[in-house]
Amino acid sequence: MIEIDGSRGEGGGQIVRTALALSLATGQAFEIRGIRAGRGRPGLQRQHLASVAAAATVGGLTLADVEGASLGSSRMVFRPGSPRSGDYRFIIGSAGSTTLVFQTVLPALLGCEGPSIVTVEGGTHNDMAPPFEYLDRTFLAALRKMGARVEATLERHGFYPAGGGRFSARMEGGPGGEGTLALKPVDWLERGALTEGEAIVVGSRLPDHVFSREAETLRKLLGWPASRIRVETVESAGPGNVILVDQPAEHAGAVVAAVGRKGRPAEEVAKAAAAAWRAWAEADVPVDGHLADQLLLPMALSGGGRFRTTPPTLHTRTNIGVIRHFLPVEIVLTEESDRRWLVEVRGRAEPAG
């Protein structure tokens, strides 16, 4: 039984999700204590339980089979079943992040024999979670370069607090259940020249002036012509807004996002998106800080790989600690400059136990 301290490092729900994903993919059970101990609302919350329930379902279990899987619980024991490919539908029942739930079960399903379809309903564009476009055009694009066969489709936008969004993804497992470990190690060391990008102001059920103010602020801060900035109004269960800066590059592009929320001026949302874009563009690295977090797990399962990124966050360092519990990999962080770090994953993708 792997023992994990849920209060260490960043101390958030990602520790639970990373442990669930690795447990399913490697077949190792774990016990986690001190879940979100330092947060204002400690313990498992509804959005975390949605990931636990999804992992249990893919492993042929129910939530009742998971010890401590209850609202507010600070301790949980997860004993994974055998992951199975299939047609799965997960309804979060709130604006909880659909993308985070999906990322919890994706590695195991890529390791199953046969195709799977996963549909998730809830929040598709949340603050503090990857929006759908980032999942599709940045994270899944990276996995496809590693050999994963997975495609995702946004069916309905879901903003906080109403939720009601939905997306589906189809993936092909590997023959004989070797899909996850068959991901090939890759190197992302150079970004290359930036090509012509696009900024998209997406919104629903808000006054038109909110979108025009965001678009004008983006135009000034990015220095782009108005033709590269567009407004897209969508249908959703409630009001919401997200700014997406889709920046292709010669070798590795990125989608930068900023999510609007009640009480946050339109200009501030645009400033946040522009600042995030500029930080990544000026660092001249192929992998942004968010993708660095998300790439570590599939790279560890593939047995290796390297990438350059911005300075590692506490979130990244915490993820490294969780991965080391499950896999005998060495993850080395090397500072090359104040803006560029090299991350190297070395080892064999076999369970640490």
Q: What are the two backbone dihedrals, phi and then psi, of residue 189, each rounded to the nearest 5 degrees?
A: -110, -25
H or E, element range at 168: strand 165-172
Q: Are strands 75-78 and 115-122 parallel, antiparallel or unpaired?
A: unpaired
Please give the positions annotated as active site: 315
Residue with the two structure tokens 């009001």: 239
Q: Are strands 187-188 and 304-309 parallel, antiparallel or unpaired?
A: parallel
49: Cβ contacts below 8 Å, ≥ 6 apart: 63, 69, 70, 71
114: Cβ contacts below 8 Å, ≥ 6 apart: 85, 173
What are the CA-CA distances from residue 208 to residues 30, 139, 198, 231 (Å)?
50, 31, 20, 10
- The C-alpha atoms of residue 300 and residue 304 are separated, in whole angstroms, by 6
